[in-house]
Structure 1
Amino acid sequence: MLLRTVERFLSENNIPPTRFGREAVRDPRLVFDLRQGREPGDRVRRRVEHFMNTYRRSRGQ
């Protein structure tokens, strides 16, 4: 579920996966690891969701 949300966010905002991971949780491999089946913990999930929400608000979406 998180991966689907992140993939949609990347597509809608034209953000490279490494930049997203670095800015969201300081892990440039995050998206690649999610694609390989990584299951993030609650803390990482919250940070990712917070980043996407903050990014959208800053863009007026």
Structure 2
Amino acid sequence: MDHAFLDAIDSFIAATGLSEHRVGIIVAGNGRLVPRLRNGGRVWPDTKWRILEKLRAERERRNLPPEDAA
């Protein structure tokens, strides 16, 4: 499991107060994404980078600090 990837998602959840389901919908169109990742599920590398980019864009859109500054 990629702990840094899950940490980035957890940081976004904490910063926004959104549910895991809503974050999954926003970044991947899949409300079961985050629980699946927590249970050891994987995503393709290109999907991972798209998700990270969507997290970055959502942080910017919501005027939140970048993940590394959070």
Classify the TM-score, shorter chain: 0.7 to 0.9
Query: Runs in 1 of length 4+ with deviation above 6 angstroms?
Result: none
| Residue ranges of structure 1 left out of the alignment (5+ in a row) | none
Q: What is the percentage of aligned positions where both structures have the same residue? A: 21
| Residue ranges of structure 2 left out of the alignment (5+ in a row) | 65-70
After superposition, the CA RMSD in angstroms is: 1.1
2:49 aligns with one of 41, 46, 50: 46
Larger RCO, structures 1/2 (Cα 8 Å, 6+ apart):
2
2:35 aligns with one of 32, 35, 41: 32
Matches within 5 A, 1:14-25: 14-25=17-28
Q: TM (normalized to structure 1)?
A: 0.87
- The aligned length equals 61
Q: TM (normalized to structure 2)?
A: 0.78
